[in-house]
Amino acid sequence: MLGLYPTWFEPGVGSGWIIGFIATIHVLFSHASVGGGILFAWLANYAVRKDRPVYLSFIRRYGLFLLIFSYVLGSITGPGIWFAATVASPRGISALIHSFVWLWASEWVFFLIEVVGVYLLVYLAGRVDPKTHTRIATIFGLSSVATLLVIAGILSFMLWPGQADWHQTGGVLNAFFGENTFAQVAARFMFMLTITGVVGGMVAGRIRDADDRRAIVRILSTAGLIGTFFGCLAFNWYLSTIPAEAHDLAATRLPEQFGLMMAASVAVSAAYFIITAWKPAVLRPWLAGVMTIVILVLGLAPEETAREIIRKPWVAGQYVYGNQIIGRDVPALGIKSELPRMAEKGILAQHPFVPESLRRVTPENEVAAGRVLALTLCSNCHSLTSTGIRPLERFFPADADRRFIADYLGAGLHRGHTVYMPAVPLPEAEREAMAAYIETLVKKGDAK
């Protein structure tokens, strides 16, 4: 059997956009939390050394805000990502769990410490001595950074294993640690400071004492400027560590406005921090709220979209396709590529969720069989409608006929001769059925 799981097809926007929408919002919540932990650890120690209890009071107020903003709302979007990703790519999630089960367990331990820590920061403020409160803030900050390290390593593996020979050698550390992991940790760490500098303004802007507000706003602005500047450097480092295939995808498949949106996000963020550092009195909670939305739309959304695009069609370790097919051997894990079996016997005869009436291609069911093939093999990355992510019809000329499409499927896709797409080999009958179905999509799109 191939695939093992049914395919989730969402005709409106596609499963990819649904995951991306939830993930982008969750990244805002999680990055604000970790950035807040970093800020709290430093600010609490600074407050004790300089005898500035107002900073400890700000930590309590900001911690209460994060309790709702990051931990309550984040506890909704976090399981939402798990649910959507599991439905969209169950075999990919299974591969990640099997590779990193104990690391994921450790991340949950650190996350539990985070949750307990933020409660303690809020509800023990003023009830314990400042040094104890500082230790709690430090533990909270270190736990936040630990969750970042674990998740960044797993996200890096989704793009490329940490060590190039992992498929042969195996080992969780070889899968986890690579230059891309550290580059991603550095970039996310810095941009977390940027997000904290903005989100914290929604709390700092409500401080009534002008001197206290001025001091805290300038701390937030300084943290934001540091995060923005060094985040850009770390992001360039990150780009230098991605594989050649990812560079090809970035050059050809990213939205045209991607670079402009990222540049605008950086420029607007820098201007915001410079202005609020120069004139702290201009900061109001509504301004910080608007700036948070700007970062979400112009920064986080395109960045998360790009991260998803450049690893396709793989979803885990360069051996699991987004369509649930195992695309290469992993000798270290005893995993065999399913492509030879797919090339020999096809998808229809082997996939457990294909209707019995479509197990064999006939002249009568050719288009229907082609739709099942496109749904199974393509819909995780390409929409079968004109409204979703990377519509399949747009990858062919408007005048493409069945013969043209079949030739491409046989010469390009079947043999892996497309620039960024690995081989997707199918028997001739199934290629012809797919060509017949894709032709209907192209004609439908041309008629609009």
The 3-state secondary structure of 310-347 reads HHCCEEECCCEECCCCECCCEHHHCECCCHHHHHHHCC
Integer angstrom CA distances of residue 162 from 175, 231, 250, 306:
5, 22, 20, 20
Q: Which residues of the chain have pLDDT under 70?
A: 445-448
Contact 28, 351 (CB under 8 A): no
The pLDDT score that the predictor gives to residue 446 is 52
The pLDDT score that the predictor gives to residue 447 is 46
Which among 192, 184, 186, 190 has a CA at the least distance from the CA of 160?
184
Contact 323, 333 (CB under 8 A): no
How many angstroms separate the CA atoms of 111 and 98, rounded? 20
With both helix axes pointing from N to C terminus, report the angle between 210-241 and 53-66 in degrees, rounded to the nearest 10: 60
Partners of 326 in the β-ladder: 320
Domains of the chain by residue range: 15-321, 338-446
Residue-wise pLDDT tens digits, 262-307: 999 999 999 999 999 999 999 999 999 999 999 999 999 988 888 8
Integer angstrom CA distances of residue 352 from 1, 338, 348, 384:
6, 15, 9, 21
Helices marked H in 67-178: 73-88, 90-123, 130-159, 166-169, 172-176
The pLDDT score that the predictor gives to residue 405 is 93
Which among 55, 56, 63 has a CA at the least distance from the CA of 36?
63
The pLDDT score that the predictor gives to residue 444 is 79
Class for domain 15-321, per CATH?
mainly alpha
Query: What 8-state DSSP symbol labels residue 393?
Result: G
How many angstroms separate the CA atoms of 342 and 424, rounded? 8
Query: What 8-state DSSP symbol labels residue 52?
Result: -
Omega before 352 cis (within 30°)?
A: no
Name, in order, each residue with C-beta under 8 angstroms of 145's C-beta and a sequence gap of 6 or more.
34, 37, 38, 189
The burial of 350, by beta-carbon neighbours within 10 Å (0-12 exposed, 13-18 middle, 19 or more buried), is given as: middle
Partners of 314 in the β-ladder: 321
Contact 421, 355 (CB under 8 A): no
Q: What would the two tokens of residue 369 be?
A: 């069989």
How many angstroms separate the CA atoms of 159 and 105, rounded? 21
Q: What would the two tokens of residue 255 be?
A: 């939205």
Identity of residue 176: F
Which among 38, 129, 17 has a CA at the least distance from the CA of 379?
17
Does the domain at residues 338-446 carry the CATH identifier 1.10.3470?
no
Which among 357, 340, 360 has a CA at the least distance from the CA of 348?
360
